[in-house]
């Protein structure tokens, strides 16, 4: 057993060592030893060394690294979040992040990456959120994520990816969110998303798709949110959402130039759908929305709806639901801009019941009739 003086010396040395470790801060960096963060944003050309092993967040945004060599981050086993945005990175070497066993968030956004090797992510068993938006990818880095078994969210917005091939998510079986907005995608292979059965959020907005990729969704049995806005999809046929009808809760179909929606395409989504966005299309009529009994949000604004008898079911539905429905007439010209629920053109339509007189009015008529008959 150690004597009390010996224990005191050991504790003092340990405390001194910890203080020295905590005080380590590379040149041109700002270190916060309370928050355990380090920021180095001085236009550096090489990744600094000598970070405190206690560091939790490492911010290296806005430097000029151009490439990330192997083993670039020694003694950073406790880092949870690594920021490498806007560093002009063109290449990430195999094993670049080796040893960062606690890393959860990796930001490689706004760089010049066009490809990635699976080995680049070696040694990141807990990486959960990966940001690769605003790079130079023209192809989806298929297979690049096979060493990331815990990946939940992948952001690849604002690249130039042209198509999604079968099995592109191999190795990312636990992926929940895939964000591909603002690419150049024209086609999605039938089995593109099969390796990720837990996928619940898919953003494909602002691409060049001309049809809903129904076959690619055949195994997406957990999908709850689908965004297809700003694609040139002009027609939605019956059954296109059938593969995800049991789970889909939020559907975004804004600004697509959409001209026609099959009467069965939305009805089959049933009571599970919570929000439906159809703003800014070319719809003159709408299918029956009554089966969508679970709707909480709906936007039909900026559609040239023809306010005539065929639109009567929509008018009745708007009156019955406890929702704020943005829907205005586009035709005929004299009704343009008026809210569908406010126009009186539907009163002459077959099946529209005449307005019942108010109770006080009915009572007055009965009294007058009584005295007239005496």
> Is the residue at 10 inside a domain?
no
Q: Does the residue 116 lie in any domain?
A: no
**Inside any domain, residue 153:** no
- Whether 20 maps to a domain, the answer reads no
Bridge partners for 298 per DSSP? 276
C-alpha span between 346 and 328 (Å, rounded): 14
Exposure on the CB side of residue 134, measured as CA atoms within 13 A:
10
- Does residue 295 belong to any structural domain of this protein? yes
How far apart CA 196 and CA 322 sit, in angstroms, is 37
pLDDT on residue 196: 95
3-state helix, strand, coil in the chain (%, to 5): 20, 15, 65
CA angle 367, 372, 374 (to 5 degrees): 100
- Residue 268: give its domain's CATH number: 3.80.10.10
Burial class of residue 367 (count of CB atoms within 10 Å of its CB; 0-12, 13-18, 19+)? exposed
Phi, psi values for residue 81, rounded to 5°: -130, 125
Alpha helices, DSSP H only, in the chain? Answer: 4-23, 263-267, 312-320, 359-372
The answer to whether position 247 is within a domain reads: yes
- Whether the CB-CB separation of 207 and 184 falls below 8 Å is answered with yes
Q: Report the alpha-carbon distance of residue 218 to residue 70 in Å, rounded.
A: 40
Look at residue 149 and tell me if it is in a domain: no
- Positive/negative CA dihedral, 130, 131, 135, 140: positive
DSSP state of 303: -
Q: Which domain does 308 fall in, by range? A: 234-352
Q: CB-side exposure of 194: number of CA atoms within 13 Å?
A: 11
Pairing of strands 30-32, 37-39: antiparallel
- Tell me the residue ranges of DSSP E strands in 25-149: 30-32, 37-39, 57-59, 67-68, 81-83, 91-92, 105-107, 129-131
d(CA 335, CA 338) in angstroms, rounded, equals 6
Number of domains within the chain = 1
- Sorted by sequence, the CB contacts under 8 Å of residue 326 that are 6+ apart come out as 279, 298, 299, 300, 301
What pLDDT score does 365 carry? Answer: 35
Tell me the C-alpha distance between 215 and 58, whole Å.
42
Distance of CA 357 to the CA centre of its chain: 50
- Is the Cβ–Cβ distance between 92 and 113 less than 8 Å? yes
On whether residue 238 sits in a domain, the answer given is yes
For residue 8, the model assigns a pLDDT of 45
Give pLDDT tens digits along the chain (374 positions).
445 454 443 444 344 334 434 468 999 999 999 999 999 998 999 999 999 999 999 999 999 999 999 999 999 999 999 999 999 999 999 999 999 999 999 999 999 999 999 999 999 999 999 999 999 999 999 889 999 999 999 999 999 999 999 989 998 999 999 999 999 999 999 989 999 999 999 999 999 999 999 999 999 999 999 999 999 999 999 999 999 999 999 999 999 999 999 988 998 899 999 999 999 999 999 988 999 999 999 999 999 999 999 999 999 998 889 888 989 999 999 999 999 988 888 888 887 665 444 443 444 334 334 444 44
How high is the pLDDT of residue 346?
Answer: 84
- Angstrom distance (rounded) from CA 333 to CA 342: 15
């Amino acid at each position: 057993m150690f004597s009390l003086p010996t224990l005191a010396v050991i504790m003092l040395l340990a405390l001194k060592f910890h203080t020295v470790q905590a005080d380590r801060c590379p040149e041109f960096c700002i270190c916060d030893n309370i928050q355990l963060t380090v920021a180095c944003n001085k236009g550096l050309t090489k990744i600094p060394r000598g970070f405190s092993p206690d560091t939790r967040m490492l911010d290296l945004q806005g430097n000029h690294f151009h490439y990330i060599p192997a083993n670039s981050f020694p003694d950073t086993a406790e880092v949870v979040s690594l920021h490498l945005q806007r560093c002009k990175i063109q290449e990430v070497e195999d094993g670049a992040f080796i040893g960062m066993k606690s890393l959860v968030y990796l930001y490689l956004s706004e760089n010049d990456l066009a490809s990635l090797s699976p080995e680049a992510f070696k040694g990141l068993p807990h990486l959960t959120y990966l940001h690769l938006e605003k790079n130079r990818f023209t192809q989806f880095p298929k297979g690049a994520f096979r060493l990331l078994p815990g990946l939940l969210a992948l952001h690849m917005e604002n690249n130039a990816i042209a198509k999604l091939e079968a099995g592109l998510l191999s190795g990312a079986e636990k992926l929940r969110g895939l964000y591909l907005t603002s690419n150049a995608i024209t086609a999605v292979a039938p089995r593109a998303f099969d390796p990720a059965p837990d996928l619940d959020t898919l953003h494909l907005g602002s691409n060049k798709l001309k049809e809903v990729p129904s076959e690619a969704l055949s195994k997406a049995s957990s999908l709850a949110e689908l965004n297809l806005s700003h694609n040139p999809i002009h027609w939605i046929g019956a059954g296109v959402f059938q593969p995800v009808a049991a789970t889909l809760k939020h559907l975004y179909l804004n600004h697509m130039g959409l001209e026609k929606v099959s009467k069965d395409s939305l009805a089959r989504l049933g009571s599970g759908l919570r929000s439906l966005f159809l703003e800014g299309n070319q719809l003159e009529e709408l299918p029956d929305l009554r089966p969508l009994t679970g709707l909480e949000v709906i936007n039909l604004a900026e559609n040239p709806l023809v306010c005539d008898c065929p639109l009567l079911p929509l008018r009745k539905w708007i009156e019955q639901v406890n929702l704020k429905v943005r829907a205005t007439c586009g035709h005929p010209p004299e009704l343009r801009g008026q809210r569908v629920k406010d126009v009186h053109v539907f009163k002459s339509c077959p099946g529209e019941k005449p307005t019942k007189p108010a109770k006080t009015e009915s009572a007055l008529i009965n009294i007058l009739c009584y005295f007239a008959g005496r």
